[in-house]
Amino acid sequence: MTLAVTLLGTGSPMPSPDRAGPATLISAGPDSGTGPDAEHYLVDAGRGVLMRLAACMLGAPNLTAVFITHLHSDHITDLNDVITTRWVMTFEETPLTIVGPIGTQQVVDHILASLDPDIEYRLAHHPDLDHRPPVRVIEVTEGVVELPDGQGGAVTITCGQTDHKPVEPSVGFRFDFEGASVVTAGDTVPCDGLDALCGGADALVHTVIRKDIIANVPMQRMQDTLDYHSSPEEAAQTAAKADVATLILTHYVPPMPVSGTADDWRSLSAAHFDGTIEVGDDLHRVEIHPR
């Protein structure tokens, strides 16, 4: 029985030819989380997420639920694709549960409204498609996340407030399975909410930016990103403070190789954290075991 993290997309708002948008897959179950009874939780849905899932031999119908850390566009760009593809590629009514911060319901309602012409076309064309996309939204702030009956059950999921102001609210999620645990931080600066969520966890997936590089870019919009993201050093300090065993970096800004090599990013974190540090491309997979 295994809990595994797959970095589906390690990119950012800056388009990259080889990095999809922010998205992380948490898999739990037999056969290293790849068996037919595994639970698969998608955290954020950036550009290209279904292409990366396909590379894992998975698709929208395989998702137990979708979790959104915050409503920045790069983290929800392809949520519409997940909704539509789940709908048309399942042959009985299979609700998609989307968990996110306050405001997620409004965003999903607008996505469905934008898809309305496509929905009507498909309903008119396919006699066996007799229902609209079934989507359930659960808005959360902190505490245990309760999924609808029949969805999940093997994994305990909790959430906590993070700090990505002026993007507010934003949340992180913790997944506990068979004694192993992983936290997905999303975009945030160090904060008490994330510290509490990480306490005693085995792994932390944290988005990061190279503040030392961005600080020298003479562009206001780049400078603005410095005050609401964590650097590799800050992510490492959060991991060390919570006694996390493994730190997994993602959402590299600027993208590599402009921002250096994977070893460069790793060394910045290693100055503040003695555990295992994972820096990977899209589809990098890390198995998480209890300590």
Tokens of 268: 């910045």
Rounded Cα distance, 259 and 272, in Å: 19
Q: Is 243 a catalytic residue?
A: no
Tokens of 151: 């969805």
State the catalytic residue, choosing from 18, 44, 74, 264. 74
Q: Is the dihedral of CA 26, 163, 49, 148 positive or negative?
A: positive
**Residue 175 · residue 196 · CB < 8 Å:** no
**Residue 7 · residue 283 · CB < 8 Å:** yes
Rg of the chain taking only CA atoms, in angstroms:
18
Rounded Cα distance, 226 and 240, in Å: 22
Q: How far from 289 is each of 12, 95, 205, CA to CA, in Å?
A: 28, 31, 15
Q: How far from 241 is each of 41, 202, 249, 256, CA to CA, in Å?
A: 26, 13, 16, 27
239: closest CA among 194, 174, 290? 194
Rounded Cα distance, 248 and 268, in Å: 13
284-288 sheet: strands from edge to edge: 135-139, 96-100, 65-67, 39-43, 23-29, 2-9, 284-288
Buried b (16+ CB within 10 A) or exposed e, 117-153: eebeebeeeeeeeeeebebebbbbeeeebebeeeebe
- Cite the active site residues: 74
